[in-house]
Amino acid sequence: MGLPLLIRRGVDAVTRGDAVRAVFEISGLMIAAAGLKALLQFRTRMAFIGVSRDVEYDLRSDLFRHLITLSPDFYRTRRTGDLMALATNDLNAVRLMIGPGLMNWFDAWFAFLPASAVMFSVDWRLTLMALLPAPLVCLTVAGFGRVIHRRFECIQEAFSDISSRVQENVAGVRVVRAYAQEEAELAKFRQIDAEYVRLNIRLAWLSGLFTPLLQFLVGVTSLIVLWLGGARVLHGQLTLGSYVMFNTYMAILVKPMVTIGRVMNIMQRGAASLERITMLMQERPTIAAPLVRSVAHRPAVFGCVDLSEVAVRFPAVAALEGVSLRVQSGSTVAIVGPTGSGKSTLASLIPRLLDPDAGCVRIDGVNARRYAPGELRHHIAVVPQETFLFSATLAENLAFGAHGVSDDRLRWAADIACLSPDVDGFPRGYQTIVGERGISLSGGQKQRAAIARALLRDPRILILDDALASVDTLTEERILSGLRVAMRGRTTILISHRASTVRYADAIVVLENGRVTQQGTHAQLLAQPGYYADLYRKQLIEAELDRA
């Protein structure tokens, strides 16, 4: 801001006939000022941009940490694409607001305020006239800012739709190809993509109108200075140097006034994105650690599970109603029942993936709600119906959740899960990349990998939720035989539709319509009329027909 003052001194010196000395003196000062300006601008950019990157790092880490603590019911109502858009596009908009946005905002005001102060000290009347369009600039910025904010929110929602569509099609590419729906999905994508482009063009049209309008208002300011300032010079009321200084300041102020417009655009985008991120960060997990720890840290869980009059109700249906069940530590209990009877819901209660709406779940006699979820799950391994494998090596997938696993231990778990023969046929053995969601493996191989992964956690409670549905009966027998040895003295809960899977369990529980209708050993239930006896006889006939 000192450069125009130096220029005024130079022009006034020339008009007084002291040009040579003034040129050398003022040129040196201007070079020094320019060097100092360059140094300070570099430091400013390093400070603002560096901080914005630090904030981006912290915010992304906090966002990821928050996402992995949210309960499963949150993900039932949110699309993966929406969350991905928040973690990428919205987070980048916040970074631009904190870094370039704030930097240019301060840069503009630190240019505007000193320049205005100097101009007022020289000729306050001319300064007032020159700043006459300033209120119009403020009104323009405020009006356009509100509209930009609304339109950018719509753009972010459209981007979420695109992200969700891409994610669903990539994840379900086999189904899309199997049903020959490539063109239909492409048509749907083009439709939402065209809407995204249309919304962006609307915003670009608004931004394109915004900047020229600001430049027009700034041009009016320059015209006022030229007209009134020139008249004051001609009447001897203002020196030529001061007049040149005014014009130089106005030329300098053009950038801040236009920058404010651009910054408002960035700020409104960032504010819209920050609002979306804040709403997500305000979500609280429905399953969380108790505020007051009423259970001392336990080095181990023994594995006694007790459900007392448990009820779980979803918006559309009651999954469980009045279920009471006791599983002794070290025993194997099987749960059977028709589809939709609540078997998986019951299994989700034990590791606190779900909390009951009524009743109580106790682990070793202690209400499960009094445990921190992470502390409880450390002693429980779950093999769900839908096996998920990461896009990594088979060894990394098997060792997931178990630290410092040796190669011998890895092979031991694979042997019990009957996975070793398959691994021996892989090109790189345990170092084979299985692909996203284990796409290079068959359904049976993925299930056996999940069983091996669960065993490597050395759990006190093992839950197999229909985890043997994709393997043949001979392999199933081998796996169950190995599990009986590996889980001796530990609790195992088997969920299955096969009577052959559960027949050797210490107790079998039949669930129908969310209620326990039968309970006993294999022999006891066969002697009773009911679901289990019918299931066993039906599957026995099917097996005989297959052999025939």
> Is residue 444 included in any domain, yes or no?
yes
How many angstroms separate the CA atoms of 455 and 464, rounded? 11
How many angstroms separate the CA atoms of 412 and 291, rounded? 40
Tell me which of 128 and 188 has the higher pLDDT: 188
**CA Rg, the chain, in Å?**
36
Question: Model-level pTM?
Answer: 0.69
The total number of structural domains that make up the chain: 2
Residues 133 and 205 in one domain: yes
SS3 227: helix
Residues 368 and 423 in one domain: yes
Q: How far is CA 121 from CA 117, 124, 280, 504, in A?
A: 6, 6, 51, 97
> Is residue 65 included in any domain, yes or no?
yes
> Is residue 242 included in any domain, yes or no?
yes
How many angstroms separate the CA atoms of 243 and 477, rounded? 97
If pLDDT is split at 50, 70 and 90, which confidence band does 197 have? very high
Could you read off the pLDDT of 500-542 as tens digits, one per residue? 788 888 889 998 888 888 888 888 888 888 888 888 888 787 7
If pLDDT is split at 50, 70 and 90, which confidence band does 226 have? confident
Residues 265 and 399 in one domain: no
Q: Which residues contact 354 (CB under 8 A, 6 or more apart)?
A: 72, 73, 287, 312, 345, 348
If pLDDT is split at 50, 70 and 90, which confidence band does 490 have? confident
If pLDDT is split at 50, 70 and 90, which confidence band does 296 have? very low
How many angstroms separate the CA atoms of 346 and 24, rounded? 88
CATH number at residue 430: 3.40.50.300
Report the chain's mean pLDDT, rounded to a whole number: 82
Residues 224 and 319 in one domain: no
Residues 229 and 311 in one domain: no
Q: Is beta strand 332-336 parallel, antiparallel or unpaired with respect to 507-512? A: parallel
- Region 400-412: what's the mean pLDDT? 83
> Is residue 7 included in any domain, yes or no?
no
For residue 47 the two structure tokens come to 């400070």
- In the block, residue with structure tokens 């063109």: 183
> Is residue 402 included in any domain, yes or no?
yes
> Is residue 292 included in any domain, yes or no?
no
How many angstroms separate the CA atoms of 141 and 130, rounded? 19
> Is residue 379 included in any domain, yes or no?
yes
Tell me which of 10 and 31 has the higher pLDDT: 31
CATH number at residue 200: 1.20.1560.10
- Region 205-225: what's the mean pLDDT? 78
Residues 107 and 179 in one domain: yes
Could you read off the pLDDT of 319-333 as tens digits, one per residue? 888 888 898 888 889
How many angstroms separate the CA atoms of 126 and 189, rounded? 58
- Range from 44-53, 245-254, 460-469, 528-537 carrying the lowest mean pLDDT: 245-254
DSSP result, 408-466: HHHHHHHHHTT-HHHHHTSTTGGG-B--GGGTTS-HHHHHHHHHHHHHHT--SEEEEES
Residues 262 and 374 in one domain: no
Cα torsion through 223, 227, 230, 236, rounded to 10: -140
Q: Where are the beta strands (DSSP E) in 215-314?
A: 305-313
Residues 276 and 329 in one domain: no
Q: Which residues contact 472 (CB under 8 A, 6 or more apart)?
A: 444
Could you read off the pLDDT of 430-486 as tens digits, one per residue? 888 887 777 778 888 888 888 888 888 888 889 988 887 777 778 888 888 888 888
Residues 272 and 313 in one domain: no
Residues 310 and 263 in one domain: no
How many angstroms separate the CA atoms of 511 and 211, rounded? 68
> Is the confidence at residue 144, as pLDDT, over 80?
no
Residue 151 phi/psi, 5-degree rounding, is -70, -35
Last residue of a domain, one of 266, 281, 296: 281
Q: Which residues contact 453 (CB under 8 A, 6 or more apart)?
A: 381, 383, 397, 398, 399, 400, 401, 402, 413
For residue 239 the two structure tokens come to 């020196």
Specify the pLDDT at position 258.
Answer: 66
Nearest of 464, 517, 513 to residue 312 by alpha carbon: 513
Q: Which residues contact 271 (CB under 8 A, 6 or more apart)?
A: 97, 149
Q: How many CA atoms lie within 13 A of 30 on its CB side?
A: 14
Residues 412 and 366 in one domain: yes
> Is the confidence at residue 138, as pLDDT, over 70?
no
Q: How far is CA 264 from CA 89, 107, 370, in A?
A: 18, 13, 49
Q: Which residues contact 496 (CB under 8 A, 6 or more apart)?
A: 334, 336, 464, 466, 468, 469, 502
> Is the confidence at residue 293, as pLDDT, over 60?
no
CA terminus-to-terminus distance, the chain: 97
Nearest of 348, 344, 350, 352 to residue 287 by alpha carbon: 352
> Is residue 525 included in any domain, yes or no?
yes
Residues 252 and 313 in one domain: no
- Range from 25-34, 92-101, 249-258, 418-427 carrying the lowest mean pLDDT: 249-258
Tell me which of 385 and 495 has the higher pLDDT: 495
Range of the domain at 358: 305-547
For residue 235 the two structure tokens come to 């009447």
Specify the pLDDT at position 546.
Answer: 67
Task: Name the strand (E) or helix (H) holding 485.
Answer: helix 473-486
Torsion over CA: 76, 78, 83, 84 (sign): positive
